[in-house]
Amino acid sequence: MASIQKQAIHVVGGGLAGSEAAWQIAQRGVPVVLHEMRPKMRTDAHETGDFAELVCSNSLRSDDKEKNAVGLLHEEMRRLGSLVIRSADANQVPAGGALAVDRYEFASAVTKALTEHPLISIIREEVGRVQDDIRSAIVATGPLTSPNLADSIRNLTGDASLAFFDAIAPIVHRDSIDMSKAWFQSRYDKAGPGGTGADYINCPMDKAQYEAFIAALVAGDKTSFKDWEASTPYFDGCLPIEVMAERGVETLRHGPMKPFGLTNPHNPAVKSYAVVQLRQDNKLGTLFNMVGFQTKLKHGEQTRIFRTIPGLENAEFARLGGLHRNTFLNSPKLLDGTLRLKAKPQLRFAGQITGCEGYVESAAVGLMAGRFAAAEWLGEEPRVPPHTTAHGALIAYITGDHIDMVDSGTASYQPMNINFGLLPPIHELPTHGPDGKKLRGPDKANVKKMALCARALADLDRWLAAQAHPVAAE
């Protein structure tokens, strides 16, 4: 038994990512040992010992595979033989266009499939560290990684900040920013590494706009910390923007919203009273994050208040801000293109610990980690799906597509949901509808989304057809 365990691929963590990784490996005919410390050791968020327990919402979000990035990810996972999506489809509850599930029946279905698979062995114990003599392992322990394992990861990576309040700034789709009001410029035209001196999008405010904005931040409805988050302190450099606003009306104007060193080309004679800066967030240049805008405002409040900023009146958000305790790696620095730890290549990471956000994204990254590990175990070259697919785009973001810039000493890599801004754009799109009228607004956006989804699924099908070993029949 001991020698079999050493030869098997070990998966640590029985959440969505670990469950999917174990399933994908076993479906390739490779033995798996799945480690889960529950129910012997409880967490602050889980209630049961089932695999793939959903601890918050019971929704896996939109199931629209034609016009929604999450729905596209669902469909790709179906084509890749996902256990998570199969179990969700079998345990749906009414939720309009969303894929929502009976959380208990869903987790029970995943648990039953894993328990009954002949190539999956299950060990219910805490893993404090991955043993050196194990041939291959995947760590998929999520934001509630046990302290002992977190310490072991720190020792491997040299990263001293695995568990902390994760300060997330909102990210805006570049094509939704009104550049008749905003402009490109770096403060004092300074060009940083890889920059041109015009690296930020700047949104100006006059005195009245700024004071109204500060008042809205202070009055806005905020989310509260969960009990298990409350004891984790803020980083000094990661204060929520509304906390800074509460310290005085001028605080933000001398912090992330300072107007100094910037000249508005639309009105050069008038000095801006304050400026909101957005920094490029991916190599494609399709996403820009709001610098210094980490926040505990509720999502509806963020959308309402941030759209009062000149240039962002019609902003479409790829991700809204947040601040919560999290555990994730600086993956672009630490992981290679197939999710292996560069310092210890027999060890892969999957799920939220890699810096993806959301149930579906965690499962999808687990799915890919499982496929990569199984291919390697079988002597094959692990193959990453094309960047044009939702899976390929997620892996690219996690392992290096993100622009790892530094602002005020804080690295910018942050967890991300799947969104169309992670996929390479399609430049040649129809400009007129079947009726001959020029496409505008939602109609134009839907044409773009449908083209991205169609391209992704076609490219995934071609990639799958080229694989030497298709997913095993169920």
What is the distance, to the nearest Å, from the Cα of residue 138 to the centroid of all Cα atoms in its chain?
19
What whole-number distance in Å separates Cα of residue 120 and Cα of residue 114?
7
Q: Which of 198, 174, 172 minimizes the C-alpha distance to 184?
A: 198
* Residue 465: Cβ within 10 Å count: 8
Judged against a pLDDT cut of 80, whether residue 2 lies above it is answered with no
Judged against a pLDDT cut of 90, whether residue 135 lies above it is answered with no
Judged against a pLDDT cut of 80, whether residue 404 lies above it is answered with no
pLDDT tens by residue, 355-395: 888 899 999 999 999 999 999 999 999 999 999 999 999 99
What tokens were used for 71?
Answer: 């729905």
Percentage with pLDDT > 90 across the chain: 55
- Confidence at residue 3, expressed as pLDDT on a 0 to 100 scale: 53
pTM over 0.85: no
Phi, psi values for residue 130, rounded to 5° = -85, 125
Q: How large is the average pLDDT for residues 149-176? A: 75
Q: Which of 47, 120, 52 minimizes the C-alpha distance to 91?
A: 52
Judged against a pLDDT cut of 50, whether residue 235 lies above it is answered with no
Judged against a pLDDT cut of 80, whether residue 11 lies above it is answered with yes
Q: What is the 3-state secondary structure (H, E, C) of 97-121?
A: CEEEECHHHHHHHHHHHHHHCCCEE
Q: In what order do the strands lie in the sheet with 120-123?
A: 120-123, 32-35, 9-12, 136-139, 344-349, 340-341
> Three-state DSSP class for 59?
strand
pLDDT tens by residue, 33-58: 999 987 666 655 556 779 999 876 67
Per-residue CA distances from 287 to 62, 175, 193, 247, 416 (Å): 21, 9, 19, 30, 11
Report angle CA 352, 18, 139 to the nearest 5 degrees: 70
444, burial (CB in 10 Å: exposed 0-12, middle 13-18, buried 19+): middle
318, burial (CB in 10 Å: exposed 0-12, middle 13-18, buried 19+): buried
Across the chain, which distance is largest between two alpha carbons, in Å? 78
For residue 394, is it left (φ>0), alpha (ψ between -120 and 50) or beta? alpha
What whole-number distance in Å separates Cα of residue 320 and Cα of residue 45?
23
- Confidence at residue 409, expressed as pLDDT on a 0 to 100 scale: 35
229, burial (CB in 10 Å: exposed 0-12, middle 13-18, buried 19+): middle
Report angle CA 365, 368, 372 to the nearest 5 degrees: 140
Q: How confident is the model at residue 422 (pLDDT cuts 50, 70, 90)?
A: very high
- Confidence at residue 243, expressed as pLDDT on a 0 to 100 scale: 85
Average per-residue pLDDT in the chain?
A: 85
**What is the number of alpha carbons within 13 Å of residue 159 lying toward its C-beta?**
20
DSSP state letters, 231-249:
TSPPPGGG--HHHHHHT-T
Q: How confident is the model at residue 229 (pLDDT cuts 50, 70, 90)?
A: very low
Q: How confident is the model at residue 239 (pLDDT cuts 50, 70, 90)?
A: confident
pLDDT tens by residue, 275-327: 999 988 777 889 888 988 988 899 999 999 999 999 999 999 998 887 766 67
- Confidence at residue 410, expressed as pLDDT on a 0 to 100 scale: 37
Judged against a pLDDT cut of 80, whether residue 226 lies above it is answered with no
